[in-house]
Amino acid sequence: MHSPDFSTHGFLRVAAATPVVSIADPMANAEAILIELQDLAQQHVAIAVFPELCLSGYSAEDLFFTENLLGDCRKALALLVKRSDLPLCAVGIPWRLADGRLLNCAALIGNGKVLGMVPKSVQPNYGEFYDQRWFVSGHGINETEVTADLGSFQIRRDQLFNVGGHLVGVEICEDLWAPINPGSLAALAGAQVILNLSASNELISKADYRRELVRMTSAKNLCGYVYASAGANESSKDLVFGGHRMIAEAGQLIADSERFSLQAATLIAEIDTQWLQHDRAQNTTFAQAERPSAYRIASGADTLPPLPQLQREYPRQPFVPADEHELEARAAEIMQIQATGLARRLQAARSSTLVIGLSGGLDSTLAFLVAVDALHKLNLDMGRLHAITMPGPGTSTGTLSNAQDLAATAGAKFLEVPIHAAVEQHLADLRHEGDFDVVFENAQARERTQILFNYANKESGIVVGTGDLSELALGWCTFNADHMANYNVNASVPKTLIAYLVRWYAQHRASAHSELADVLNRVLDTPISPELVPPQDDEISQLTESIVGPYELHDFFLFHFLRHGSRPKKIFDLAQRSFAGVYNEGEISHWLRQFFQRFISQQFKRSTLPPGPKVGSVSLSPRGDWRMPDEATAKAWLDEIDQIQSNETNV
C-alpha cells in the first residue's frame, strides 16, 4: 500500500510547548527543552515554539541584570545548538548587546546553529507588567553577532526563517497585542507561519480574549499562528501563568490546550501552507496591502449635543457575570488561578503544610476551599491543611460551629485556640480600661495573626491569607494582623464575588457531598462581621456594612475608579442609574465619600501587602497594578463629592 507524504502537499507539523521552568536555572531549562524536542522529533514535528524567556524564566525580574543569569543563558543556548537532529525551535532568552542594552529575544535554532534572533518590539509597562525596567524595544535593532561559542547570526526584527520551503516569522507576547504588530508585517513579507513566544498571565476571561486575538490575527493575515505561553511553574508572587498553547490557521483555532498544569505539556497540529498561499493570491485585500503612510487629521464639530440619557447599561455588580453559564465558567477559572498560585507557592517555600485561620465567615471559607484544591493539585492529603479557629470576646456560636464543621467535612486538621486569656493579659499589660475601642479590636486581630505565624513555623507551613479585594480597598483590615500572610489567595477577589464563588462551590463541587454543601450554605447565611465586639444574646452585634457601607456600592465605586479612572461625579451618576430604587442620592453620595476617604487614606496598608494571585482586571497589588504614595490627600475627590451633596441640598 502506498504511504503518502503529506509534507509534499504543503503540510507543516508544528508544536507549541510549555516545559517545566526552573527560574534562574538556564541549564536545567535547556535540559527540559531538549527532552521535549527529542519527543517532538519522534512525532515528526518540523517546528517547535517555546515560551518567552523560557531559558531564564519570564519572572526572573531583576536577576536579568546579573552576570550569572546572562552567562548561564548563553551556555544553555550553546547546549541546544549542539543538537542538529532536532526540529527547528524558537526559545526565549535575555540577550545583552555589546553596548549594554538588554533585549528580550527569540533565538531560532536549526541545523546545529543559531539561525538568528528576533527581539521583542513592544515592552508592556502597565498594570502588572513592567518589562521596560529590564528590556529595550527591538524596534530598529539591527546587529550582527560574531561569537566563538554560537557562531555568527543576526539580531533584527525584520527577518524570516526558511524551513523546507516554508517561511516563518516571529513575534513575542505583547507584540501581538500592539495596534500594528510585527507578526502582521512578517506575514506581508511572506511568512506563512507566525510563532509567538509568550508569557501571558491568567485573569478572569483573559483566555477567551487571547483565543480571539490569536484566531483573528491568523484570519486577517491569512497565516498559521503558533502560540506558546509560560506555565504555572513561573513565580506566582502576584500573577499566575497557565501555560496556554494555541495553533490557529486563517481564522480557525485548530488546536487549544488545557491550562494550569504543573507538568510539561505540548500541543501539536499541521498547518496547510499551500491553502494559505492560495488564499493570499486570491484575496486582493491581502495581496495589495501596503504599509500605511502618515494619516491626515480632519477637524470635526467643536462641541457635542447634550446627552441626558445613556442607552447602555452598567451592572450593579460589575465583577459578577449576569449570565449563569459565564458565571460558572468564571468561578471555575478563578479557583483554578487561586489554587495553582497557592500550589506553586507551597512548592517554592518547600513547606509541608498550609495554615489558615478559619473564622466561619465567607472570606476564610473561600480561602479554605482554595487550599483544599491546591492540595488536590499537588496530590497531597488533606491532613496537610491545618485550620485554626481562635474564638475570642467577639466570637458567636454560629461562626465557631461553621469553622468546626467545615474542617471536619473536608478532612483537614482542626485546632481550636481560644484567645480570651491572651487578649485579656495583653490589654492589662497596656493598662487598657476595657472599652470596646480600636485597641480592644486590634489586639484580637494581632493575637490571631501571631498564633497563625508561630504555628506555621512549628509545622513548617505557610499562612494562607483570607482578606479580599474590597477590604483592601477600604483598608478594612488590621495593619500587621489579618492584613498579613505568606500568600493571600483572595487578594484580588472582591466581596461581591466571594459569595457567588462559595455558592457555586456548594452547588457544583459539593453537590455530591451534602454535609459540605450544608456547611457552605450556613456560611452564606452568616452576616458579614469581623466579630471583634462581644455578641448580644449570642447574635453577631457588629455588622460590617453598617459601619463601612454596602459592599455592592463600594465594589461598584472600586471598579469604575480603578478600571476606568472615573471621577466621583461620573461614578455617582452611573450609580444613580444602576441602583435606582435601591439607594437614594443621599445614600450613594454618603458612601461614595466614605469610599474615597478610606481608599486614599488606607494606602499604607496596601503598600506592604503580601503576595497573592491576580485573578481579574482590577487588582491592588503594590508591585504591579496600583501604586500611589501613602501620603496622598483625598481633598480633590472629597471636594467634588461635597459639591454633589451641596447640589442635592439646594434642589
Q: Which residues are catalytic?
A: 52, 120, 173
CB atoms within 10 A of CB 633: 10
Distance CA 118, CA 191 (A): 14
Q: Give strand pairing partners of 18.
A: 265
Distance CA 532, CA 586 (A): 29
Cβ-based neighbours of 435, under 8 Å, separated by 6 or more: none
Q: Which long-range contacts (CB under 8 A, 24 or more apart) does 255-260 make?
A: 255/16, 256/211, 257/16, 257/18, 259/202, 259/207, 259/336, 260/202, 260/232, 260/336, 260/337, 260/340
Q: Residue 310 — φ and ψ, nearest 5°?
A: -110, 145
Distance CA 506, CA 510 (A): 5
CA distances from 237 to 198, 338, 364, 638 (A): 18, 11, 20, 34
Please answer whether residues 600 and 637 qualify as being in contact, where contact means their C-beta atoms are separated by less than 8 angstroms.
yes
Distance CA 110, CA 84 (A): 6
**Residue corresponding to grid cell 466561619:** 360
Q: 395, 340, 313: which is closest to 575 by C-alpha? A: 313
Helix, strand, coil share (%) of the chain residues, nearest 5: 40, 15, 40
Q: 514, 498, 500, 537: which is closest to 398 by C-alpha? A: 537
How far apart are the two ends of the chain, measured CA to CA in Å?
90
Please answer whether residues 458 and 483 qualify as being in contact, where contact means their C-beta atoms are separated by less than 8 angstroms.
no
Distance CA 158, CA 189 (A): 9
Convert 417-478 into a string of H (helix), E (strand) and C (coil): CCCHHHHHHHHHHCCCCCCCCHHHHHHHHHHHHHHHHHHHHHCCEEEEECCCHHHHHHCCCC
